[in-house]
Amino acid sequence: MNAPWQERYRPLVDRFGRVHTNLRIAVTDRCNIRCFYCMPADDVVFRPREEILSFEEIVRFVRVVAALGVNKLRLTGGEPLVRQGLPQLVRMLVEVPGIEEVALTTNGVLLAGLAHELKQAGLTRLNISLDALDRETFRRITRRDVYDRVLEGIRAARAAGFQRIRINAVAIRGITEQQVVPFGRFAREEGYEVRFIEYMPLDAENHWERRRVLPGEEIRRILEAEFGPLEPAPRPDPSQPAVDYVFADGRGRIGFINPVSEPFCHECNRLRLTAEGQVRNCLFSLQEWDARALLRGGGSDEQLAALVYECIQGKKPGHGIDDPNFLRPQRAMYQIGG
Ligand code: SAM
Ligand code: SF4
C-alpha cells in the first residue's frame, strides 16, 4: 500500500505540467582531467569527503523519488569512476523498486579497468565523453594526455557487452569544426552514436561567450556536405534532450543536444542531486534544496518527498541564457553534475 505522502506528491509535476521521472546523481566533484569548459586548470578546491553523500544516503534518496515516479537514473559528476566502489552503488540502485534504468556518463579514463564490473553490476547505458579524435586537440581541451586511455576504455566497454554506446562531444567554435568529419566517419565505421553538445556557460573560469558556441545546425551541414543527407531518427522519448539523425544510406547515427540554439526546457523531465546532497531543478538553477540536512538530521521520507516536490514547484520555464538579465550559477559543471 502506498504511504499517504506518496499520494500527495506523486507524480512530480511542476507548474508547467512537466512530469519529472529522471534523476541525475553526481557521485563526486573530483575529476582526473581538467576540461577547460568545465573545470579550472589549477588549484581546484574539492569538497571534503565527509560532505559527500554516502552510497546509503544516495540510495535512500532514490527510494523516495522512485516512490514519486522517478524511473531513470544517470550517474555523473565530476568523474564518477574516481569514486571508489562505484559498481557497488550501481548494484544497490538497480535493486530499488521502480528504477528501470541506471546509466553512467564518464570521461572513460578509468573505464578499461571497470567496464566489465559495471556491466555485471547491472548498468544499462554508457555515455563516454570524447571531444576530439586526435591526441593533440584532446590534450588541449582536457589539459591531460590520456587520449589513448579513453579509446581503450571505449573498446573495453564494447567488449564488456554494452550496446549502443554514445560518444558525447562538446561543440566549441574554433575547435570542433575540424573534428566533425572525423566524428562522422567514426560513427559510420565504428558504429558508435556520436552526440554533439553545444558549449554552455558553466565553465569554472567564466570564459564562455556566445560566439564560442558551435550550433548543432552548422555541424549538421558539415556532415551532410561530406556524407550525404541526415534523416531524423524515430523519437520514442520526447523528453530526451538529443535530436537524433541517421545518414540516409543507413550507416551512422548522430545526435545533437542544442541547449543554446534550440532550448528544450519545455520538455525537461530532469532533477539533479549534487555530490553533497543538494537537489536542483535545472543545471542553471540559482537555488538548491538541502536533502543532506534531512538525510543526516533524522528527516522522514515524507519530509524528503516534500522537499523534492517544493524544488520541482520552483522550476522556471526555461534556462534564460538569452535573457538580458541572465545570471549563471555560481557553481561550474563539475560541481553540479552534468
Ligand atoms: N566526467 C564525466 C564526463 O565528462 O563525461 C561526467 C561529468 S561531465 C560534467 C558530463 C558532461 O557534461 C560531459 O559530456 C561534458 O563534456 C559535459 N560538459 C561539461 N561542461 C560543459 C559545458 N560547459 N557545456 C556543455 N557540456 C559540458
Ligand atoms: Fe572532468 Fe567531465 Fe568536467 Fe571533463 S567534463 S573536467 S571529464 S567532470
CA of residue 79 to ligand 2 center, whole Å: 6
Residues 154-164 have pLDDT tens digits of: 999 999 999 99
CB of residue 153 inside a 6 A radius of ligand 1: no
Residues 299-312 have pLDDT tens digits of: 999 999 999 999 99
248 pLDDT more than 90: yes
**Which pLDDT band holds residue 239 (cuts at 50, 70, 90)?**
confident
Domains belonging to the chain, first-starting first, are: 4-336 (3.20.20.70)
Q: Which ligand is closest to the CA of 78, given by its number?
A: 2
CA of residue 316 to ligand 1 center, whole Å: 22
Backbone angles phi, psi at 270, to 5 degrees: -105, 145
Q: What is the mean pLDDT of residues 44-48?
A: 94
CB of residue 142 inside a 6 A radius of ligand 1: no
CA of residue 234 to ligand 1 center, whole Å: 25
**Average pLDDT score, the chain:** 96
Q: What is the pLDDT of residue 227?
A: 97
Q: What is the mean pLDDT of residues 243-267?
A: 94
Residues 6+ apart with CB under 8 A from 163: none
Closest ligand 2 atom, CA of 333?
A: 3
Q: Is 53 left (phi over 0), alpha (psi -120 to 50) or beta?
A: beta
Choose which residue among 24, 38, 46, 195 to substitute to test ligand 2 binding: the one with the highest number of ligand atoms within 8 A of its C-beta: 38
CA of residue 33 to ligand 2 center, whole Å: 6
238 pLDDT more than 80: no
Q: What is the pLDDT of residue 65?
A: 98
Q: Return d(Cα 287, Cα 217) in angstroms, integer.
A: 32
Closest ligand 2 atom, CA of 31?
A: 1
CB of residue 77 inside a 6 A radius of ligand 2: yes
Q: What is the pLDDT of residue 46?
A: 94
CA of residue 129 to ligand 1 center, whole Å: 7
Backbone angles phi, psi at 164, to 5 degrees: 45, 55
